[in-house]
Amino acid sequence: MLEAAAVLGGYLLGSLPFGYWLVRLFRGEDIRTRGSGNTGASNVFRSYGRRLGSSVALLDLTKGFVAALLGLWAGGALIGVLAGAAAMLGHARPVFLGFRKGGKMVATAGGAALALAPLAALTCLGTWLLIFFVTRYASVASIVAALALPLLAWLYGGSWPVLLYAGGGASAIVFLHRHNIRRLLAGTEHRFQLGRAA
């Protein structure tokens, strides 16, 4: 019973649409009408700048971290993975927005990974930052970091549930970035201008 409650709690935590709420609170607008139309940190950053975008990224990361940590406490690595995965699902399809499109769950997945495999997650964070500052493409940084996570989790000796999470999470993130991949191949993907909205 406790394990099931932790997984459900993970989904509800993931469903907290901070990108939607913060833009509503500080700008009085609906982030879903801007840019890519999703509620994730990248779209907020691109549409409203560094301050709001960074705040959303931190909050989205925190909800994934807390969800996975709750699962670890309730039932060990497997429940931690399930709660982290549930948070990712909640971020992508939040109950508080009527199960409509949320974000691409990169920050939420990273937060869960930080609880489940901290060394691998921190290395992925460094990878994301390096790729982002070199290319200025959040999508490229997210895809590369996601693909690196399973390998890093294995290299750092992650348990089989963590390896399963890393592989499944990477696949989900790449799938949600399929339109970005098409734009990258077509040369029409958005490149960030740091310090202001593009």
> Going by C-beta distance under 8 Å and a sequence separation of 6 or more, which residues neighbour residue 112?
64, 65, 67, 68, 83, 84, 85, 87, 88, 165, 169
Please say if the pLDDT value at position 35 is more than 80. yes
Name the amino acid, one letter, at 75. G
Report if pTM > 0.75. Answer: yes
65-69, 98-102, 127-131: range with lowest mean pLDDT: 98-102
C-beta separation of 122 from 148 below 8 A? no
Q: Is pLDDT of 152 > 80?
A: yes
Helix (H, G, I), strand (E, B) or coil at 160: helix
